[in-house]
Amino acid sequence: MTKITLAFPKDTPGVDVSRSLRPLLLAVRDTRYRHGRELIAWDLSPRQQDVADLCLLLEKRGRTEYPFRRLELLDCRLDAWSLGRLGRAVALSSLTSLCLDYTPVGEEGVRLLLCGLEGDNHVLSLSLCYCSLGPDSGSLLAALVSRSAVRDLYVNGNDLQCDGATELVNVLVEHEECVALEEPSPHPAHMTGKQRVRLVGLHCQVKYTEEQDSIFRGKKEKEERKVKRKSVATPPQIGPWLEKLHLSDNAIDTYGPGRATRALSFAENICLLIKLSTHLTELDLSNNHIGDLSGELLLEALQERRKAAMTVLKIRVSTQMSTDTFAAILKNSKEMKNVKKRRKKAKK
């Protein structure tokens, strides 16, 4: 069994159920159960001692390592100390995915997680859906993405609004613009003298290599059939680029004074990300009323992306726009399947 789930039945009259994480942790530790890869807990209010025991189990410090890859704490009430301790433990663990959906993390919780995940290069997926994140959390999320290896970010059901979402996307766009400027031009007319000399040398080297390769090609193919080379896995790079960005239901809309301009500014930035990013594969903007003009900008960005022969983007947007624009967006993108199940928002 690789997936361990801790859930409790609904409260029933006359039945007293102690909701605690400690018995499960003790069972895993006492039996030295090292086959678990996913640890999931629902609807808990863990004490600080329980959180400390969980962190000690995750950290690779003891004699026995428990190689959990995914941790989900859904609808759990964690205080500031617990979030900070969890962030430090995640950085010392084998986790590649952390999910805190429906847990009221808030801005302070994101700040504490940032302290733990800063410089971390193994957590690739972070989910903070319905975690009471406000507009000021946008800059914190941007810093978190910039200083970690997170590639999939899920922040559905929060209140980032246009300002917070723009803060997050700006960091991604600036990184992609820097990458585009650093890429050398392949055309000889744009090369310096040293670059042309190097190019000529490379052509000569390639020609010589091809002649030598034709002699030993048959022998090499036979050896490759016998010996299978092992690919060396390189650690993920730390930097502000994402493969999946889910911003559904974040009050990114045109309602209220000045919101239309802010929504348009957000749309312009997200369109730049669509045009420039070769890493982005999924973008969820559903349940956000961005307006017809922003929808047209998204359509133009998707069309330019296809003309540039980039990977077709999986995108989801709100239907609250022109029918023709919405249909054209779907035509120029791939369908995104629902992976996460929606539950009730956590009580504040």
* Tens of pLDDT, residues 120-132: 778 999 999 999 9
The pLDDT value given to residue 9: 72
Strand partners, 316: 284
The pLDDT value given to residue 230: 45
Give buried/exposed letters for 55-70 (b at 16+ CB in 10 A, else e).
Answer: bebbbeeeeeebebeb
Average pLDDT of the residues of the chain: 82
CATH topology of domain 104-110+118-181+239-337: 3.80.10
Rounded Cα distance between 43 and 344, Å, is 12
Rounded Cα distance between 276 and 282, Å, is 14
Q: What is the CA radius of gyration of the chain?
A: 25
Is the separation of the CB atoms in 51 and 85 below 8 Å?
yes
**DSSP assignments along 135-151, one per residue:** TTHHHHHHHHHHTS---
Rounded Cα distance between 288 and 248, Å, is 7
3-state secondary structure of 259: helix
Q: pLDDT tens, 146-191? A: 998 999 999 999 999 999 999 999 999 999 988 888 766 544 444 4
| 108 Cβ neighbours under 8 A, 6+ residues apart | 80, 83
- The residue whose two tokens read 């009050």 is 251
Check whether 211 has a pLDDT greater than 90: no
Where in the chain do CATH 3.80.10.10 domains reside? 104-110+118-181+239-337
Q: Return the sign of the alpha-carbon dihedral for residues 132, 138, 139, 145.
A: positive
| 216 Cβ neighbours under 8 A, 6+ residues apart | none
Q: Where are the alpha helices (DSSP H) in the chain?
A: 22-30, 48-58, 80-91, 106-117, 137-146, 161-182, 193-226, 259-276, 292-307, 323-331
The pLDDT value given to residue 132: 92
The pLDDT of 70-76, averaged and rounded, is 94
How far, rounded to the nearest angstrom, does the alpha carbon of residue 247 sit from its chain's CA centroid? 11
The pLDDT of 134-152, averaged and rounded, is 93
Q: pLDDT tens, 76-115? A: 999 999 999 999 998 888 899 999 999 999 888 889 888 8
3-state secondary structure of 230: coil
* Residue 129: HSE in the Cβ half-sphere, 13 Å Cα cutoff: 26
pLDDT band, very low/low/confident/very high, at 197 (cuts 50, 70, 90): very low
Q: pLDDT tens, 254-289? A: 887 878 899 999 999 999 999 999 999 999 999 999
The pLDDT value given to residue 270: 96
pTM score: 0.82
pLDDT band, very low/low/confident/very high, at 300 (cuts 50, 70, 90): very high
* Residue 214: HSE in the Cβ half-sphere, 13 Å Cα cutoff: 5
